[in-house]
Chain A
Amino acid sequence: MRLILAIAMLLLGVPAWAHKPSDSLLSLTVQHDRIEGRWDIALRDLDDAIGLDADGDGAITWGEIRSTHDNITAYAFSRLTITSGEMRCTAQAPRHMIDNHTDGAYAVLLFTMTCPTAIKALRADYRLLFDLDAQHKGLLRLTHGQDTTTAIFSQESPTHLFTLGEISMWRQAQQYTHEGVWHIWLGYDHVLFLLALLLPAVLRRTEGRWNPAPDFWSAFLEVLAIVTAFTIAHSITLGLATLGLIALPSRLVESAIAASVVFAGISNVYPGLAQRRQLVAFLFGLIHGFGFASVLSDLGLPRGSLVLSLVSFNVGVEAGQLAIVAMFLPLAYGLRKSWAYQRLVLVSGSLGIAALASTWLIERAFDLKLIPL
């Protein structure tokens, strides 16, 4: 043993590390019998384990990584075993991406795992890189409903066992209601459609021109009729689509929703187009229901409590919608006699809505991006 080494290592008061030691970051989100996973593994570590730098020039390119995606997948998943009960969960082929961390670029593996039964107790066994780097660690973040747990895998403790608390029915209903409210508030197409239909509700069309509704009660009934028709219609299709009884291609649905907003906007300028707005609300409401259904399926539906989630999501949508109407009606009623409301808001506002929705329609129908997103 050379003493030179000893001297070189004597002065250690300052951590001179330019890097941190090797870590991988694993995030698992458990939903019923499914696990959504994200796994970030340093490119340097993968290079040590399976060799990424094919041309040996010390630079790892995206092309070199892409050509080893299958090897990366095979290597990583042979070293991670997730079991639910006694049965092993299987991962589908992951999507490969890249992310930059404080100590360099990482391969990002995005995957879905399916377990044979609903996950009550989850056992994770992690063996990545321990044979090459005894100080490697796997940092795990496990999410289940609102609960997040973290754990660290190391050579000394490669296995962790987690018992997942039951998510109560009430809690689940709350979550889906919340999602429903936010979806209607952030789904501008639904809001604009509803607003376009409601704008003339505080007015009456007589002798080819708009006049203010005579009293609040009649305006209220008009709004109620439109909102009810829209609600009934989209509830029907939301239910049918969620239960899997009808399926429509999402591009068609999204385009039709945009078209409905265009139509609603234009019909305020040419009132002859839609004399019975309840009917318009109902017919197009059927289409909007399919849109809600696709959101709900993106949220993931627990098999055990499908109906509960469906109903609570719909309750959330209606609550969000009611809040919008409750803000709209007094305002519009108060302003209904003004010239500005009848001309500017109704005509220009409706045309603006129609114009915006037209760009959506073109984007969705032709799969273009006109508005940078």
Chain B
Amino acid sequence: MIGIPTLGRLVATGWLVLSAPSVTFGEPFLPQLDGQVLERLPVKATDPVARELKSLRASLLHDPQNVNVAVSLATKLIEQSRSEGDPRFLGQAQAVLVPWLNQGTPPSSAILLRAMIRQHAHEFDLALADLDAVLNLQPANAQAWLTRASIYQVQGQYEDARRACQPLLRLAGRHVALTCLGDIAGLTGQATISRQMLTASLERAGISTRERLWILIILAEMAARTGDAKAAEKHFLDAQSLGVKDHYLLSAYADFLLDQGRAQAVVTLLQHETRADGLLLRLTLAEQALHLPASNGHIAELTARFAASRERGTRVHVREEARFTLALLHDPQTALTLAQANWEIQKEPWDARLLLETALAAESHPAVMLVITWLHTNHVEDMRLQQLLAQFQEGKS
């Protein structure tokens, strides 16, 4: 009786293979209808922003030597990249500046913009070199000082950051300088006084919405780090009520809520924010905590996005990828490698926390010692980090 199944199998295999679905991921396709919409552009030709960009481009075409027009256009494009969360505009801004940047001595306005573009590409050392060049030519350039302070802060070089904030007392509004200094003070063991100072800044008349948002986020994160969840929540809500959509605010608030175990609130906050990688990551973490089926699809989506980003050879997403690999892929060894690579680039409290979490999960004590040394040297105040370290000490003893 073996002959029949054999033949049957042959025929059956034939039918199966012949009728197998031909949909394979990554296969190109031919749309069937002319009216089918394949892509939506971030800005329509009729949007005010698009018109402004277009008119600036036209002016530049008309007067290609005019560095002021080029700088205006590049500035507009950088702003656009920030509000749209789209790095393409940064590359376009850089391309606009190329003719001046290729000159022997580029104008400082062009170098300053390149520094900001490099800052966003996490090319911190190149950005700092650009800022040095700008400040050599224009020692009173407030923006260059502020940007320098922010890069040093991200790199965990708090003394340098503080020095870069100081000239702002003369060059910019007092509250700008105080926020710059207060942020650093809050990280390095002076959170209480810093919170008082920043809260006072909020009362000042004449600070812009953007500045208020900046101060509120710093206050909220500082309160969260010192374990004052109630105050943190209030600052986050105040910041949200300003009505400015800000990716940083959303992700910082989501991180706070995740730490508070309020995953459902994160889902409500971020359910429509699947485009930005950082926000999708936090949404997926919340979905995982709630055992929602949506997390599987989002994990696959994030895997594809990180792979695409890696193929490009850039390292902007290393922190998020480390967190993703640890918390969603449950691969502590790979996550540790990523967290270490990230630590080489930036040293904010979250970077330290990720390094600690991955090091604990992967049981790598040398990596833990790195963070401990850094924390003690800088007197970094962060409740979560202290908890993690206590956990480590317990494990050791």
Contact = CB atoms under 8 A, between A and B. Distances in A.
A joins B in a complex = yes
B23 interface: no
Interface stretch (A7-15, A28-36, A296-304): A7-15
B248 to A, nearest CB: 4
A47 B320 CA distance: 30
Nearest to B349: A13
Given A7-B214, A99-B28, A21 B314 contact: yes
B251 A102 contact: no
A62 B28 contact: no
Given A58-B43, A97-B29, A14 B147 contact: no
**Interface of A, helix, strand, loop or mixed by DSSP:** mixed
B358 interface: no
B120 A99 contact: no
Interface in A19-50: 19-23, 38, 40, 43-45, 47-48
Nearest to A108: B28
Interface string B108-126: 0100100010011100000
A363 B141 CA distance: 76
A4 to B, nearest CB: 5
A16 B85 contact: yes
B301 interface: yes
A7 B210 contact: yes
A326 interface: no
A17 B87 contact: yes
A194 to B, nearest CB: 11
Contacts of A136: 91
A14 B251 contact: yes
B210 to A, nearest CB: 5
A249 interface: no
Given A5-B143, A21-B90, A16 B247 contact: yes
Given A9-B120, A16-B251, A43-B38, A134 B3 contact: no
Residue in B88, B146, B172 with the greatest tally of chain A CB atoms within 10 Å: B88
A152 B309 CA distance: 13
Given A13-B346, A18-B276, A133 B35 contact: no
Given A16-B247, A66-B34, A98-B30, A331 B2 contact: yes
A79 to B, nearest CB: 14
A10 B146 contact: yes
B249 to A, nearest CB: 8
A124 B162 CA distance: 48
| B interface, size bucket | 35 or more
Contacts of B387: none
Interface string A317-339: 00000000000000110010010
Contacts of B146: 3, 6-7, 10
A182 interface: no
Nearest to B150: A10
Residue in B3, B314, B316 with the greatest tally of chain A CB atoms within 10 Å: B3
B127 to A, nearest CB: 11
A8 to B, nearest CB: 6
A9 B82 contact: yes
B352 to A, nearest CB: 12
Interface string B214-227: 10010000000000
A186 B16 CA distance: 12
Nearest to A191: B10
Contacts of A332: 3
A62 B44 contact: no
Contacts of A38: 28
A19 B87 contact: yes
A21 B84 contact: no
B389 interface: no
Nearest to B121: A135
A335 B79 contact: no
Contacts of B319: 13, 15
A245 interface: no
A371 B14 CA distance: 11
Given A7-B210, A98-B31, A102-B308, A59 B87 contact: no
Contacts of A131: 95
B176 to A, nearest CB: 7
Nearest to B301: A102
Residue in B39, B109, B211, B316 with the greatest tally of chain A CB atoms within 10 Å: B39
Interface stretch (A68-76, A269-277, A286-294, A349-357): A349-357
B77 to A, nearest CB: 10
Contacts of B178: none
Nearest to A25: B311
A66 B36 CA distance: 11
B217 A19 contact: no
B254 to A, nearest CB: 10
B40 interface: yes
Contact of B312 (A152, A335, A344): A152
A314 B308 CA distance: 41
A103 B11 contact: no
A356 B8 CA distance: 12
Interface string A186-197: 101001100100
Interface string B1-38: 11110110011001101110010001111110111111
Contacts of A18: 84-86, 275-277
22 contacts: A1-B141, A1-B143, A3-B172, A6-B146, A7-B211, A10-B150, A11-B214, A15-B320, A16-B248, A16-B276, A17-B87, A18-B86, A21-B90, A44-B39, A47-B39, A58-B43, A61-B34, A61-B36, A130-B95, A186-B17, A349-B4, A373-B18
Closest 7 CB pairs of A and B: A63-B34, A16-B247, A135-B91, A58-B44, A134-B94, A56-B45, A97-B28
Given A58-B44, A110-B28, A130-B95, 12 more contacts: A3-B172, A5-B75, A9-B116, A16-B248, A18-B84, A20-B312, A22-B91, A102-B304, A134-B91, A152-B312, A352-B11, A373-B19
